[in-house]
Amino acid sequence: MPELLDLCPPDEAWRIFREHFDPQVAAERLPVREALGRVLAEDLSAPHDLPTFPRCAMDGYAVRAADTYGASPGLPAYLDVVGEVLMGEAPTLEIGLGQCALVHTGCMLPSGADAVVMVEVTQPVDERSIEVLKPVAEGENVIQVGEDVRRGDAVLPAGHRLRPQDLGGLLALGITAVSVARRPRVAILSQGDELVEPEQEPRPGQVRDINSATLAALVEQAGGIPLRRGIVGDDLEALRQAAEAALTQADVLVMSAGSSVSARDMTAQVINGLGQPGVLVHGVSVRPGKPTILAVCDGKPVFGLPGNPVSAVNAFRLFVTPAIHLLQGGQPSPPRAVPARLARNVASATGRQDHVPVRLEERDGETWAVPIFGKSNLIYTLIRADGELIVPLDSGGMAEGEMVTVFLY
């Protein structure tokens, strides 16, 4: 019973999956203060101008600009100080010809004035008057009504992932709650007769289940909520029941299959029973991660990842992370990547996309990518690595000294 997978290139696998997966974004309303990193589910526009009143952008004097024209240190303009505008108050005073008022950065520009002279270019004459040593133009050092945002302006679109400054910008407009995509619930099921919980002491022949924790962490990183559904043995009926129950409660189901071919075949069989159309792709030309299953069951994405933890991580990043992003209606952040010089030759088979873990080393002011040796099923190859480089499908490898892009973990 050799494994006869009809391997599909990763791009093609994703295309087939996308043809059958029509992501529905479910929204929930959240206080803006709690919405960092969440994806907007509505287009937002400004309910009013910002600022709502003309604001002084400098400490100094609010003036009529025309009163300062031609002013110089040799021939200053003399202005009467008619008062002070306090922070947070609407000034009652009015600036007339030849008059000015003391103002502070951020306060309201009094009516009659159309510019602010910086305090640095003034000199006090007495308690009631100043000299202005330099002219200001109309509007200078003033933030006009609506200069930041105009009422009705589009401010942030649906699909935008909220950053710190976005929270501030929304609150500035009095938008204190927003509709964001609900975090997709991703059920994780580990399959394998050899698996025990990490807290248990494995007997000879047993190993601790680490995929549950690793994949749950990847779900969190992608913005989802992991639902850990534990370990199921390589038993068709038990697996079917566990998978059905998990999928009912979740938006996505991720099964990390047993390690052997027969266990993986069982996974495919169970997935096909979960809904239509079922398994779409079984086997992807990527290393590690070849025996990956992509499926859609009655509208929900279901993934059968390899039992080997390194393969499971790689296949998750390639397919599950983007699916979780789609369910949020947003684009993923671009990966952190750095250029580096390859420290050794990396061989690869044409027709296969290879993900090679590398360590970064600084040598003489240059960054080198050092491939990590070890079989692709050793989890510590990923732990000793800072990131990975990708050898494309059509490449036979990369040469020592070549510049490569390292995608940081």
Contacts with its own copies in 153-192 (CB under 8 A)? 155-156, 163-169, 171-172, 174, 176, 192
Binder to its own copies among 213, 225, 349, 372 (CB under 8 A)? 213
- Residue 74 beta carbon to its own copies: minimum distance, rounded to whole angstroms: 20
Please give the helix or strand (H or E) that residue 78 lies within, else none: strand 77-84
Task: Tell me whether residue 2 or residue 74 sits nearer to its own copies (CB atom).
Answer: 2
Contact 378, 310 (CB under 8 A): yes
Task: Tell me whether residue 274 or residue 370 sits nearer to its own copies (CB atom).
Answer: 370
Which positions from 130 through 149 interact with its own copies, judged by CB under 8 A? 143, 147-149
- Residue 276 beta carbon to its own copies: minimum distance, rounded to whole angstroms: 30
- Residue 298 beta carbon to its own copies: minimum distance, rounded to whole angstroms: 29
Binder to its own copies among 72, 105, 241, 248 (CB under 8 A)? 105
Helix 236-249, helix 261-272: angle, nearest 10 = 50
Give the span between the Cα atoms of 239 and 75, in whole angstroms.
Answer: 91
Closest by Cα among 334, 332, 299 to 39: 332
Query: In which residue are the tokens 């969440």 written?
Result: 38
Asked if residue 361 binds its own copies (CB under 8 A), the reply is no
Asked if residue 129 binds its own copies (CB under 8 A), the reply is no
- Residue 176 beta carbon to its own copies: minimum distance, rounded to whole angstroms: 5
Backbone angles phi, psi at 170, to 5 degrees: -70, -45
- Residue 277 beta carbon to its own copies: minimum distance, rounded to whole angstroms: 28
> In this structure, is the dihedral angle defined by the CA atoms of residues 381, 383, 385 and 390, taken in order, positive or negative?
positive
- Residue 126 beta carbon to its own copies: minimum distance, rounded to whole angstroms: 16
Binder to its own copies among 99, 190, 214, 285 (CB under 8 A)? 214
Residues whose CB falls within 8 Å of the CB of residue 20, separated by 6 or more in sequence, listed in order: 277, 280, 296
Task: Tell me whether residue 115 or residue 263 sits nearer to its own copies (CB atom).
Answer: 263
Contact 242, 229 (CB under 8 A): yes
Asked if residue 127 binds its own copies (CB under 8 A), the reply is no
Asked if residue 331 binds its own copies (CB under 8 A), the reply is no
Asked if residue 373 binds its own copies (CB under 8 A), the reply is no
How many residues touch its own copies (CB under 8 A)? 93
Which positions from 285 through 324 interact with its own copies, judged by CB under 8 A? 307-309, 313
Asked if residue 260 binds its own copies (CB under 8 A), the reply is yes
Count of C-beta atoms within a 10 Å radius of residue 188:
28
Binder to its own copies among 119, 125, 145, 158 (CB under 8 A)? 119
Asked if residue 203 binds its own copies (CB under 8 A), the reply is yes
Q: Which two tokens stand for residue 393?
A: 């499908």
Task: Tell me whether residue 156 or residue 296 sits nearer to its own copies (CB atom).
Answer: 156
Asked if residue 205 binds its own copies (CB under 8 A), the reply is yes
Count of C-beta atoms within a 10 Å radius of residue 288:
24
Give the span between the Cα atoms of 107 and 171, in whole angstroms.
Answer: 19
Contact 139, 115 (CB under 8 A): yes
216 to 235: interface string for its own copies, x by CB under 8 A: xxx-xx------------x-
Asked if residue 89 binds its own copies (CB under 8 A), the reply is yes
Asked if residue 47 binds its own copies (CB under 8 A), the reply is no
Task: Tell me whether residue 16 or residue 261 sits nearer to its own copies (CB atom).
Answer: 261
| CA 72 to chain centroid | 53
Asked if residue 262 binds its own copies (CB under 8 A), the reply is yes
Binder to its own copies among 59, 140, 244, 402 (CB under 8 A)? 59
Tell me the CA end-to-end span of the chain in Å, nearest whole number. 37
Asked if residue 88 binds its own copies (CB under 8 A), the reply is yes
Could you write out the three-class secondary structure of 372-406?
CCCCCCCHHHHHCCCEEEEECCCCCEECCCCEEEE
Asked if residue 201 binds its own copies (CB under 8 A), the reply is yes
Task: Tell me whether residue 76 or residue 278 sits nearer to its own copies (CB atom).
Answer: 76
> Distance of CA 172 to CAs 58, 158, 176, 214, Å?
20, 19, 9, 39
**Counting runs of H as helices and runs of E as strands, what totals does the chain give?**
8, 28
